[in-house]
Amino acid sequence: MKTDKRERASFKAGRGGERKPAFSGKRGRPAKKEGAGDSLLICGRNSVTEFLKSQGVRKVFVKEGKKDDRLLSMVKLAEKYGVPVEEVPEEQLDNMAGGVVHQGAAALLKPYEYADLDRVLADWEGKDPILILLDGLEDVRNLGAIVRTAECAGAAAVLLPKHKSPPVTAAAMKTAAGAFAYLPVCQTGNIRQTLEGLKEKGFWVVGADMDGESLYFDANMKGPLVIVMGAEGKGVSPLTRKMCDFCVRIPMKGQVSSLNVSVAAALLIYEAARQRGRS
């Protein structure tokens, strides 16, 4: 199958792919109890700082006692945005973190708000956006890793089918190291309808598959593109694969037959970015 000749209409939908915070600050459903299970409580200095910058934090917790310059800067940043800061014993932070390394800082986030796909596309009018659709992904840490890579590579958004995706949890946010604060994540409906709608807008759909027609670095991944990544172990579902314009594979030279899905996604995302001159 040739992938170097394109006849599909060019993408028309903004303003150069300008990044906007994924949190709007609007009221939504209440967050879970502070420190309870896998609530929207994140830990770690980098994550807390990035979400403070995006104004997605309801409250900051820092350890009692002497603080280094980074913790003091975080406290000042919280004060700048009017976010309350509470000093708590380090043992309490340990309990709240539930085993996650907190580095003396944690934050209770505002309820996560998924981005609207139509608005994302409007913000990329005249550009060649990269979208990543996750088909059946299960591990929230893989979700976080993919969002982190997509944000770093300059992708437009990650798409999560409502009934076949993990939720955005604190564990996903921790893995993403703050990327959720900047990269739009859109919750979509039926995969087939979503892909059909994007194709009508000029997008090409490439699936990651061990039996793909070409190697990922030989395929033409320029232009508006949807990269479809499948579930851990199962890969892209047969129905979704039929919706792909073409599939690509990653060469495997060792004894292990596959890569972690977040690593595979990183290769395809950065190859698409390289072909656009963004790498």
Q: Tell me what pLDDT residue 279 has.
A: 53
Quote the pTM value. 0.78
pLDDT value of position 23: 43
Helix axes 261-275, 140-153, angle to 10 degrees: 10
Full strand arrangement of the beta sheet holding 85-88: 41-43, 105-109, 57-63, 85-88
Convert the pLDDT of each residue in 226-274 to its tens digit.
999 999 888 999 999 999 999 999 998 887 778 899 999 999 999 999 9
Q: Which DSSP string do the residues of 106-170 spell out, in sequence order? A: EEEEPPP-PBPHHHHHHHTTTS--EEEEESS---HHHHHHHHHHHHHHT--EEEEETTSS----H
Q: Place 4 in a pLDDT band, splitting at 50, 70 and 90.
A: low
- CA dihedral (111, 25, 183, 223) positive or negative: positive
How many angstroms separate the Cα of 99 from the Cα of each of 29, 38, 202?
Answer: 26, 11, 46
Mean pLDDT of the chain: 85
The pLDDT of residue 30 is above 80: no
What pLDDT is attached to residue 35?
37
Q: Does the structural domain 117-275 have CATH classification 3.30.360.10?
A: no
Question: In whole angstroms, what is the distance from residue 274 CA to residue 244 CA?
Answer: 21
Write down the CATH number for the domain with range 41-109: 3.30.1330.30
Q: Where are the domains of the chain?
A: 41-109, 117-275
Q: Kindly report, residue by residue over 127-143, the tens digit of the pLDDT.
A: 999 999 999 999 999 99
Residue 278, pLDDT score = 62
Looking at per-residue pLDDT, the higher value among 203 and 12 belongs to 203
1: Cα separation from own chain's centroid: 30
**Quick one: which of 171, 33, 174, 168 has its CA closest to 108?**
33
| Whether the Cβ atoms of residue 179 and residue 17 lie closer than 8 Å to each other | no
Is residue 112 within 8 Å of 168, Cβ to Cβ? yes
